[in-house]
Amino acid sequence: MSNQRVVVVGGGLAGLASAMKLAELGVAVDLISLTPVKRSHSVCAQGGINSCNDQTRQLGDNEWKHFDDTVYGGDFLNHQPPVKEMAYWAPKVIELMDRLGVPFNRTGEGFLDRRRFGGTLYKRTAFAGATTGQQLLYALDEQVRRRESEGLIRKFEFWDFLGPIQDETGRCRGVVAQDMVSMEIRAFPADAAVVATGGCGLVYGRSTMSVFCTGSAASRCFQAGAKYANGEFIQVHPTAIPGSDKLRLMSESARGEGGRVWVPRKPHDSRAPRDIPASDRYYFLEERYPEYGNLVPRDIATREIFDICVNDGLSVDTERMCVYLDLTHIPKAELDRKLGGILEIYEKFQGVDPRIEPMRIFPAVHYSMGGLWADYVKSADGGLEAGAPANHMTNIEGLYAIGECDYHYHGANRLGANSLLSCIFTGLFTGPSIVNYIDNQSGGHADIDAATLSGAVSKQQERHDSLLTGDAGSDENPYLIHQELGDIMTRAATVVRRNDQLTDAIEKVNELHDRAMKVNLSDTGSWSNQNVIFAKSLQDMFPIAKSILGGALRRDECRGAHFKPDFQKPSLTAEDPAERRKQAEEWCDAFEKNNDKYLKSTIADYDNASMQPQFSYEDVDTSLQPPRPRLYGLVGADIIEEVWKERAEAKKQQPQMASS
Amino acid sequence: MIALDPAANRPQFINVRVKRQDGPGQEPYWQLFKIDYEPELNVITVLQRIAALSKTSDGKKVTPVVWDCGCLEEVCGACTMQINGRVRQSCSALVDTLLKDNADELVLEPMSKFPVLRDLMVDRRRLFKALEKVKAWVPVDSYYNMGPGERQLRAAQEQNYPLSQCMSCGCCVDACPQYNKIELERKKDETDEEFKKREEKAWDKAFVGPHAISQAMLFNNHPTGKSIAGERLDALTAPGGIQACGNAQNCVAVCPKEIPLTTSIARAGRATTIHTIKKWFEK
């Protein structure tokens, strides 16, 4: 019987990979999830999972290039050692998932088929139809069930994580959670805890995320003293189907398989799409970005679609904004084989067959690149030190963060099909680190001070009870406050950000937070009370919302998904070569100056007394690949690149000088 | 109602009748809710509107209806319930379509084969336990890097992928006449562990369900999964196994993912027969 015990919170790809790996290492695992783990939000990931592979290698690809695409796509805000480690693990991760039975699509000869995704020129993406996340999750779910049947893992499904348990030294000694059926609150003592609780899309009301992605688990760690990093970096996916309850994802794989985005050149052209001849169609991504075409990185595709509707007035629909995503030129059999899952979603929810008629899509909040701050140890070769206890440990000792709720891998913008990879990778990679951490501890889960445990439970019980008693005279409704929060956040902190709007939103969110603390519940019962569970998660959305807004306000630049038009770097205007060269020099000067100031992770600490995040900044480890301008589609990109290369070359000549 | 143009020929309100139950073993009762009509609603949005209102059609303040949901795009399997008498996912149940069939009201009830926890929320642990019974996993040696899995022909992938889309929603078992509800009451002096054991024993004897049979066939068709094919077939020949299937074929008719469940059951039938005969000869 194992004498190490870890509690894993969250049963998506990261949490399951972690539980499974820890069980293999002989650790007893308590797995806590809001939902049966098989229903976790990872099921919604569609397109695939990236790694360089035998085919791309022969075209010049390798792990380093996957690393480089990831940090370039992320606008160099990613710490580079973790990204490098992930890129080098990627082929191994996919091979393991293949062994676990994931039904990846196959080539005629029986090898794994690959498709191309955004932000790269190589076909790195392995996929299982258009439900890759679901298939990967199921494979891990099955292994966890197997370990559960062997007695190594105990699952606690429909349990809500309420907060970490910390001893007098601040070390995490387990978690407190609540049974969502019986409403029992209890302690789960452990030697270490892993938080793998995903993103925070519900802060925006509607997004592509599942209803459990409230960010409240990360927020509860944040409020307990964990740092939250790069909150303002929220990915808005270019293509989603608008809906009144949810914005349903339409995978990037639709473009990876040849889907084309267009609008009629004539505003509000009333003809049916198939009656509009090619000459009257504006394939704006292909025209503006000839190299990457429809597969530019997500932040860029999103801004272009937003821009074409909002500023150019070329939305297909007059009532609601959307553009065409067109697959109708691709043979039906191929579509069914490679994209069946997502086409069914469109057909089921829109009542239109996307094989016959182009889909109508618009951007939607999709992923949080930021998340809980966590540490890592850099290895001699520039990757991560395998087994180092600090890998992925938050600033609360013994509390680990992995998967979407960490902040390491995707910088300012995530590349498609890298998230499934980062989730599984972090789950597997941190196993030995956690075991080594526990080995170094003198006290374990069995000898935690009883007062520490009961104190942590009674604190949560008090919060619960006071919500049920309610605020006499208040009629604040948590569901309506949530709608208001979503509207404010969506308006101020998605595709385009302006300081006046952010300032205004901060004020409104502050007011709304005060109101949310006074909600009055329509259900005050003590059995399966979803009302009180939602009220708690709503209250806990505010620290995250404030970190997003505050981080965005303080960052006066454009970087990846964070776009402030007032601080956009201009295209080159001069025609004269010498003048143009001069402009390029100035452009590069400005770029370097901006990096000195803003190439930093935003770090938020939560001050519970004032209910406000406090911001500071952390240098980004760019020691492996020096940052360079991201020039997709910019006028004058060629000459800027030339100037930049010369500078980089000059720097290389005197390496000792560049200590930063 | 005066209909001047077809677009206006829509109801002003939607009546929603919900079968509620305050807890396990309690008497169910009905409540009627009235919400404003909006185009392109689904049943999830309807329940969200009801939760925000928390009032019945006659203005009585009530608790929000309890239900389960997750992805809202029909891949997680959480939001199964009976809608107008038919078991399905509530996220993909579009109100405009439902109103065409019954303009008067929407009727929402919990699934019929699982114990009700509260309102539309049921206890489906038995579904997942069945996956353990048939060992629905690939028994790999380790999670270390051991190179790729076996090469597989496209035809094999195309046979397995549809089966692998099963999201354990429970529609198939809810519609199956051979799958009966098991609701045990906890005895006095019974510990959590004892009660759980008794429950699992009861589930184990009862029909495993089409979803689990199909998963057994999925893993028996996998190059490594095959290595414990015999153990899965043993499970399917035990009480509650394949012989409990009455071939009503309701399962395949209600599966939201259109998984060929009856094909899986037929394959399992043949495989268990051969397996039993072989075992008999090997005695």
For residues B137 and B108, membership in a common domain is answered with: no
Q: Per the domain annotation, does B79 fall within a domain? A: yes
B6 pLDDT more than 70: no
Beta-carbon separation of B164 and A43 below 8 A = no
Sort out which chain B residues have CB atoms less than 8 A from A129's CB and list them. 161
Could you give the strand order of the β-sheet that contains A323-326, starting from the edge strand earlier in sequence? A248-249, A234-241, A359-368, A323-326, A260-264, A281-282
Side-chain half-sphere of A152: how many Cα atoms within 13 Å? 18
Sort out which chain A residues have CB atoms less than 8 A from B41's CB and list them. 244
Sort out which chain A residues have CB atoms less than 8 A from B152's CB and list them. 106, 110
| Alpha-carbon distances, residue B64 vs A179, A647, B51 (angstroms) | 19, 64, 4
Query: Containing H/E element for A325?
Result: strand A323-326
Residue A275 burial by Cβ neighbours in a 10 Å radius (0-12, 13-18, 19+): exposed
Q: What is the mean pLDDT of residues B59-80?
A: 97
Beta-carbon separation of A39 and B222 below 8 A = no
Q: How far apart are CA A310 and CA A313, in angstroms?
A: 6
For residues B107 and B196, membership in a common domain is answered with: no
Q: Compute the Cα dihedral for B152, B156, B162, B168 and give only its sign.
A: negative
Question: For A626-640, B30-44, B51-65, which range has the lowest pLDDT when averaged over its residues?
Answer: A626-640
Give the one of B118, B145, B167 whose C-beta lies nearest to A92's C-beta.
B145
Give the one of A40, A98, A143 whose C-beta lies nearest to B149's C-beta.
A98
- Total domain count, chain B: 2
Is residue B37 within 8 A of residue B72, CB to CB? The reply is: no
Nearest CA in chain A to B62: A522
Give the one of A106, A243, A523 whose C-beta lies nearest to B63's C-beta.
A523
CA end-to-end span of chain B, whole Å? 77
Beta-carbon separation of B140 and A35 below 8 A = no
Give the one of A103, A245, A337 whose C-beta lies nearest to B48's C-beta.
A245
Phi, psi dihedral angles at A534 (to 5 degrees): -65, -40
Q: Per the domain annotation, does B272 fall within a domain? A: yes
Query: Containing H/E element for A587?
Result: helix A577-598
For residues B135 and B110, membership in a common domain is answered with: no
Q: How far apart are CA B217 and CA B215, in angstroms?
A: 5
Angstroms from B92 CA to nearest CA on chain A:
6
Q: CA A577, A286, A369 angle in degrees (round to 5)?
A: 95
Q: How far apart are CA A245 and CA A216, in angstroms?
A: 20
The percent helix, strand, coil of chain B (3-state, each to 5) is 40, 15, 45
Beta-carbon separation of A131 and B118 below 8 A = no
Please state the separation of Cα A455 from the chain's center in Å. 34
Angstroms from A313 CA to nearest CA on chain B:
25
Q: Per the domain annotation, does B278 fall within a domain? A: yes
Nearest CA in chain A to B163: A103
For residues B41 and B137, membership in a common domain is answered with: no
Nearest CA in chain A to B145: A92
**pLDDT grade, residue B9 (50/70/90)?**
low
Q: Which amino acid is at B64?
A: P
Domain that holds residue B45: 12-118
Q: Which amino acid is at A248?
A: R
Sort out which chain A residues have CB atoms less than 8 A from B48's CB and list them. 245, 479
* pLDDT the model gives residue A656: 55
Beta-carbon separation of A134 and B167 below 8 A = yes
According to DSSP, the β-strands at A260-264 and A323-326 are antiparallel
**pLDDT grade, residue B1 (50/70/90)?**
very low
Give the one of A21, A98, A138 whose C-beta lies nearest to B164's C-beta.
A138
Q: How far apart are CA A132 and CA A138, in angstroms?
A: 10
Residues A376-394: b if buried by 16+ CB within 10 A, e if exposed:
bebeeebbbbebbbbbbbb
Give the one of B42, B51, B78 whose C-beta lies nearest to A479's C-beta.
B51
Q: How far apart are CA B89 and CA B44, in angstroms?
A: 9
Sort out which chain B residues have CB atoms less than 8 A from A107's CB and list them. 154
For residues B269 and B137, membership in a common domain is answered with: yes
Q: How far apart are CA A105 and CA A627, in angstroms?
A: 36
Which two structure tokens, joined as six digits, stand for A541?
A: 């959305």
Angstroms from A611 CA to nearest CA on chain B:
26
For residues B133 and B233, membership in a common domain is answered with: yes
Q: Which of A244, A337, A435, A484 to probe the B interface (max B CBs under 10 A)?
A: A244
Q: What percent of chain B has pLDDT over 90?
A: 94
Beta-carbon separation of A145 and B74 below 8 A = no
* Max CA pair span of chain A: 77
Beta-carbon separation of A244 and B154 below 8 A = no
Beta-carbon separation of A99 and B52 below 8 A = no
Beta-carbon separation of A108 and B154 below 8 A = yes
Beta-carbon separation of B164 and A44 below 8 A = no
pTM: 0.96
CA end-to-end span of chain A, whole Å? 49
Sorted by where each begins, the domain ranges of chain A are: 5-236+367-454, 238-363, 457-554, 580-653
Owner of token pair 């978690």? A175
Picking from A47, A79, A93, the residue whose alpha carbon sits closest to that of residue A425 is A93
For residues B65 and B192, membership in a common domain is answered with: no
Query: Containing H/E element for A65?
Result: helix A63-73
Q: Per the domain annotation, does B2 fall within a domain? A: no
Beta-carbon separation of A39 and B136 below 8 A = no
| Architecture of the domain delimited by A457-554 | Up-down Bundle (1.20)
Q: How far apart are CA A596 and CA A367, in angstroms?
A: 27
Beta-carbon separation of A210 and B76 below 8 A = yes
Angstroms from A270 CA to nearest CA on chain B:
19
Q: What is the DSSP string of A408-450?
A: SSSTTSPPTT-HHHHHHHHHHHHHHHHHHHHHT-SS-GGG--H
Sort out which chain A residues have CB atoms less than 8 A from B158's CB and list them. 337
Sort out which chain B residues have CB atoms less than 8 A from A43's CB and list them. 70-71, 75-76, 167
Owner of token pair 């295209």? A571
Nearest CA in chain A to B133: A149
For residues B104 and B82, membership in a common domain is answered with: yes
Q: Per the domain annotation, does B5 fall within a domain? A: no
Over residues B233-249, the pLDDT tens digits come to 999 999 999 999 999 99
Number of neighbours of residue A87 by Cβ within 10 angstroms: 27
Which two structure tokens, joined as six digits, stand for B3?
A: 């209909």
CATH number at residue B112: 3.10.20.30
Nearest CA in chain B to A250: B73
Coil, helix or strand at residue A192? strand
Is residue A73 within 8 A of residue A415, CB to CB? The reply is: yes
* pLDDT the model gives residue B42: 95
Q: Confirm or reject CATH 3.50.50.60 for domain A5-236+367-454, answering yes or no.
A: yes
Nearest CA in chain A to B65: A530
Q: What is the mean pLDDT of residues B163-187?
A: 97
Sort out which chain A residues have CB atoms less than 8 A from B149's CB and list them. 95, 98-99, 101
Angstroms from A415 CA to nearest CA on chain B:
22
For residues B44 and B79, membership in a common domain is answered with: yes
Beta-carbon separation of B78 and A39 below 8 A = yes
Sort out which chain B residues have CB atoms less than 8 A from A146's CB and list them. 135, 137, 139
Under CATH, to which class is A238-363 assigned?
alpha beta
Beta-carbon separation of A99 and B51 below 8 A = no
According to DSSP, the β-strands at B80-83 and B106-109 are antiparallel
Give the one of B71, B128, B224 whose C-beta lies nearest to A44's C-beta.
B71
* pLDDT the model gives residue A119: 87
Beta-carbon separation of A98 and B157 below 8 A = no
Sort out which chain A residues have CB atoms less than 8 A from B136's CB and list them. 142, 145
Over residues A260-297, the pLDDT tens digits come to 999 999 998 999 999 999 999 999 999 999 989 999 98
Beta-carbon separation of A100 and B140 below 8 A = yes
Could you give the strand order of the β-sheet that contains A399-401, starting from the edge strand earlier in sequence? A153-157, A28-33, A5-9, A192-195, A399-401
Phi, psi dihedral angles at A69 (to 5 degrees): -60, -40
* pLDDT the model gives residue A2: 62
Residues of chain A predicted below pLDDT 70: 1-2, 655-660
Strand partners, B83: B86, B108
Sort out which chain B residues have CB atoms less than 8 A from A531's CB and list them. 51, 63-64
| Alpha-carbon distances, residue B82 vs A487, B93, B145, B178 (angstroms) | 32, 10, 45, 18
Q: At what angle do helices A132-149 and B125-133 cross, to 10 degrees?
A: 70
Instruction: Give the A:B interface size as CB pairs under 8 Å.
Output: 187
Which residues of A carry out catalysis?
298
Q: Per the domain annotation, does B62 fall within a domain? A: yes
Q: How far apart are CA B242 and CA B207, in angstroms?
A: 8
Nearest CA in chain B to A128: B161
For residues B218 and B265, membership in a common domain is answered with: yes
Q: How far apart are CA B71 and CA A294, in angstroms?
A: 27
Beta-carbon separation of B52 and A480 below 8 A = yes
Nearest CA in chain A to B146: A96
* pLDDT the model gives residue A660: 42
Predicted complex ipTM: 0.96
What are the counts of helices (DSSP H) followed by strands (DSSP E) for chain B?
10, 7
Phi, psi dihedral angles at A622 (to 5 degrees): -110, 35
Owner of token pair 């292909």? A286
Q: Which of B31, B62, B67, B71 to probe the A interface (max A CBs under 10 A)?
A: B71
Sort out which chain B residues have CB atoms less than 8 A from A248's CB and list them. 72-73
For residues B64 and B155, membership in a common domain is answered with: no
For residues B195 and B81, membership in a common domain is answered with: no
3-state secondary structure A353-390: CCCCCCEEEEEEEEEECCEECCCCCECCCCCECCCCCC
Angstroms from B60 CA to nearest CA on chain A:
12
